[in-house]
Every structure is written in C-alpha cells, then in structure tokens.
Amino acid sequence: METSALYPYPSRRYVTYAARGMCATSNHLAAQAGVDMLKKGGNAFDAAIAAAACLVVLEPQTNGAGSDAFAIFTQNGGKLQGMNSTGVMGRGFDLQKMRDKGYKEMPHYGFEPVTVPGAPAAWAAINEKYGRLPLTEVLAPAISYAREGQALCTITWSSINTMASRMRENTDCGPQFDEWFRIFMPGGEAPRPGQLFRNPDLADTLEAIAKTQAKDYYQGEIADRIVAASHKFGGFLEKEDLMEHEVQWVQPLSVPYHGYEVWELPPNGQGIIALMALNILNGFEPSPLDDPLGVHRQIEATKLAFIDGLRYIADPRYMEVSPEEMLSPEYAAARRKLIGQTAIEPAPGNPKNPGTVYLCAADNEGNMISYIQSNYAGFGSGVVVPGTGIALQNRGKGFSLDPESPNAAAPGKRPYHTIIPGFLTKDGKPVGPFGVMGGFMQPQAHVQVMTKLIDCGLNPQVCIDAPRWLWTAGKEVHVETEFSTYLADSLAQRGHKIVFDTNRGGFGKGQMILRTPFGTLIGGTEPRCEGACAAW
C-alpha cells in the first residue's frame, strides 16, 4: 500500500499530516481537546479519553455518559490489545414476560432496552492503566463545555428535533422522557444553531466520574439514581448489575488481506463481519478503483458475511460457533464459491463444516488507539436519568426475543453490538487505527475503506471521502447520490437493485490515522459531519 496524493473523487478535505500527535473525531472541539492533552504532556490514551468525554457533551445525539465502548490499541508500538466495556441486561429481565406483553422484538425507546452502561468504566480503566495525566485533567474540557456551555451545531439541532418528533409520535411516550425534553427542548423547542447550550447536571456527573475513577457511577450516588429511575420507569437494572460491571481486556481478531492484517474485536461486536468479508475477498486478485466486478464481489462477500453474523454473533458465552470457525480459510473458500457474476440472495452458512461516535488518536511514542462509544440509535433510549444529565443507551435493542436464538435476551448477558473499532498492521507492526460508525453500515464501510486503502493505494482522506454503498437486504443496495452512475448501472446489470439514497447520515462517519514510513502521521476525517483531524 502506497497512499496516493491523487484525489479521484470530488474531495471535501485535504489529508492531514503531523509529526507529534493527532486526534481525529466527528467534532472539531473534541479533536482539539485531545491534542491539548498531548501538548500538556499526555499520551494518545489521554487524548482519546478527553475527546470521548467531550463528544458526550458536544454530540449528545450519538453518545452519552450512558453509552458503551470498545477500543483496540497499541502501547509504544507493541502488540495490539483490545477492550470491551459493554454492559449486560439487568437481572430483573424476563424474556417470557416481554413476549407475554406482546413484544415481538425489543422496544426502541424507554428503559426496557437499557443495559449497564460501560463508557465511564472504559474511560477510567484506560486512564488508570495506560494514561499519563489524572482523569480530573483529562475530563476537564468536557466538564467545562457542559457547565459553561458551547454553541449548538446544526446537526445536533436537527437531531434533537427529529428525536422529539419520534417520541411524541410514540404512543408509550410518558413521564420517563420528561427529563430528556427538559434538557434538550427547554421551553418546548430545541436551542437554535449557534445558541449556547449547557448541561450543568452532566457537568456534575462528569466531575464525579473524574474524581472517583468512575466508582461513584457504578457504586455510589450516581448508581443509586440510575437504579431508582430504572425501578420507576420499568427498567431491569439493579445496583448489583452496576457494581458487577467490569471492563474486559480481550485479544483482537485478524485476517490477512493482500499483504496486511486487518484487526477487529471479537463478539459480542459485529467486527467479525468485516473480517469474514475480507477473508472471502482475499482469495480474489486486487481490483482497480471502482471496477464493477470488484465492487460486485465486495457487496456479495459482505452480504454473505453479514447474514452469517446476524445468525451467529452473540455474547461469546452463548455462541453456537467460535470466531475461529467463522474466520477459517476453509469456510471463507466455501463462501467465496457462492460469488459469481450476478447478485445472489444470501443465506447463512454453517461454519462448522470443515470449517455511533468513533475517534482515534496517536502520539510520537508509538501509542495509537482506535476507540468507539455509542448510544446505539440517535439519543438511544430517550431516557435521561433525572438530575444527572446521563442519556442512556438502548443497546438491549440488539437482542432477539426469539428464545431459540443465541442472541436471545437474558439477565447478565451482553447483546449483539454494532459498534466496532478497527486497526491495520503490516508484518505484525502497527500501521494505524480506523473506524466508520453508523449501525449496520459499520462493517460494510470497513470493507470499503480497507479495499480502497490497500488495493488502490489511496490516502486516508480519499478513502473516507469516497461515495459509499450500503447493502440492506436481499439484492437491494443503497448508494450515495455522488456514487458513479456508470458503476451503479453496471451493478444493476449484475442483478443488484440499486437505490440512490439522499440520507447521507445512513452511510456512516469515519476517521483514520496511519503512521507513515517516515515515522510521521497521516490522517483523514469524515466530511459527512463536522469531522476534524487535529494535529500537533
């Protein structure tokens, strides 16, 4: 892979270079906060946590102090490590009672889909184990933005209004959403773009997290408030569920791809889908940029991987097949044989025969981190814990209510997770972190970004700029309006049902930082939002 300076697409940004450090996020203030930590003597881990906490304040529509988190990282250029800080379903959950109430799937809003939030524990664990600055200093920018306020951006204003409309249309919308409306719709309407927006309750919560290394969140007064709200509004969380939450340090998974190694975290996240697709594609020769046959194969490989992922991914303790079986070369070869010249209707295979904010940061000491945290969809559950500013995720939405599914909801169990950080190495040496957030788009975007980077030699910014496709179901593929009409027509002739989609938010938001052969850094950020790649 030699990243090219050429810009084959109508580029919206130039690639960013830096010598001392870099932080790429979906918000410029969060990225700046990350680089500020580097300037204060901190490292990439301090930068990532500072940015993550700021995003809780600055992008409440995508994440909050009630989010979950994953990370892949390298310390001083060494072996990759992984972190899973996703929470379990509360001990009060009863699947049969949910089915008896008439639910065929987990509800989207309310306290029922809320699982134990993991992001605050992730901040504290990474800071304590790998950071250099105290957590009080790392979270100070986020606390300041929450207490003193910051100008509201257009995307957040639009998201607040969209969420308000959806909750008002929800027949079950009741008192549990009052706190959300109080904070985000003061006086009955959202603050206007550019208007100062404050969340002093969240500032107090972040301050408590910083001073106690998140212990207050899981064992103290904040935990008591979360549980009290759960009891009041029909949730399933108990104090013991919060007290028992632990960050898991895990070994990332990888597959070879055309001379590199692409890394994702093991289930309960869906990163293995991207690896399965790339494992299938690794058996084909690299394709030229936007070659119709090459893109057709990418779509087909992704479809086959996705349909397997939806069938098998769950809390690892409940999975019917192992990640190793899903990633075996033999299984990849069997699935590859299904890819021909035209689109197919995908069906799950059997691996046992033989075989949504994202950010990244890097410094000049060899530390690099790929980090992601999320509420799941929009503002998540729509529930804000009274008096705390904590917007809770709805990660339980990822569960199935089918008792026969390995992903069936159960107390003490983690759900299927969509958020996935990625990492790239060559010959075992770290090249850099990457990720594209956005629900079920994420593994599909990982495949698209990696194939353009590795096979076509494009620089990180161009890889992120490139128009994307999104497989939805069957043979239907949505493409961005900037997508090549020639390529779209060619795919349609191969049997794909192509839909030009004007909803740019559905195609994900990505960031990438790579270390160059010169030891410097090169980064790209997302043009589909207020992305920024701050450098030092």
What pLDDT is stored for residue 172 in this prediction? 61
Q: What is the mean pLDDT of residues 227-246?
A: 97
What pLDDT is stored for residue 355 in this prediction? 35
Are 51 and 34 spatial neighbours (Cβ–Cβ below 8 Å)?
yes
What pLDDT is stored for residue 175 in this prediction? 87
Res 458 pLDDT > 50: yes
What pLDDT is stored for residue 51 in this prediction? 98
**What is the C-alpha radius of gyration for the chain, rounded to an integer number of angstroms?**
22
In whole angstroms, give the CA distance from residue 210 to residue 416: 29
Query: What is the distance in angstroms between the CA of the first residue and the CA of the last residue of the chain?
Result: 25
pLDDT band at 166 (very low <50, low <70, confident <90, very high): confident
What pLDDT is stored for residue 59 in this prediction? 94
pLDDT band at 350 (very low <50, low <70, confident <90, very high): confident
CATH architecture label of 250-357+419-535: 4-Layer Sandwich (3.60)
Are 437 and 531 spatial neighbours (Cβ–Cβ below 8 Å)?
no
- Please identify which residue in the block is written with the tokens 């981190």: 369
- Two structure tokens written together for 323: 């990640």
What pLDDT is stored for residue 354 in this prediction? 38
What pLDDT is stored for residue 11 in this prediction? 62
**Paired sense of beta strands 497-501 and 476-480, if any:** parallel
Residue 527 Cα distances to 420, 424, 466, 508, 531, angstroms: 20, 22, 10, 10, 6
- The 8-class DSSP code of residue 287 comes to P
pLDDT band at 353 (very low <50, low <70, confident <90, very high): very low
CB contact set of 54 (below 8 Å; sequence gap of 6+): 27, 29, 30, 33, 141, 142, 145
pLDDT, mean over the chain: 94
Residue spans of the domains in the chain: they are: 250-357+419-535
Res 487 pLDDT > 80: yes
**Paired sense of beta strands 21-25 and 532-535, if any:** antiparallel
What pLDDT is stored for residue 504 in this prediction? 82
In whole angstroms, give the CA distance from residue 355 to residue 360: 35
3-state helix, strand, coil in the chain (%, to 5): 40, 20, 40
Handedness of CA 173, 175, 180, 184 (dihedral sign): positive
Q: What is the mean pLDDT of residues 221-233?
A: 97
Report how far Cα 246 is from the mean position of its chain's Cα atoms.
20
Burial class (CB in 10 A: 0-12, 13-18, 19+), 104: exposed
Res 276 pLDDT > 60: yes
Q: What is the mean pLDDT of residues 198-203?
A: 97
Task: Specify the higher pLDDT residue, 504 or 326.
Answer: 326
Interval 316-335: pLDDT, tens? 999 999 999 999 999 999 99
| 136 closest CA partner among 53, 71, 59, 66 | 53
Res 502 pLDDT > 50: yes
Say which range, 67-76, 166-175, 256-265, 388-397, has the weakest mean pLDDT: 166-175
Q: What angle do CA 53, 58, 60 make, to 5 degrees?
A: 90
pLDDT band at 171 (very low <50, low <70, confident <90, very high): low
Helices (H), strands (E): how many in the chain?
19, 21
Handedness of CA 247, 251, 255, 261 (dihedral sign): positive
Question: Could you list the active site residues?
Answer: 356
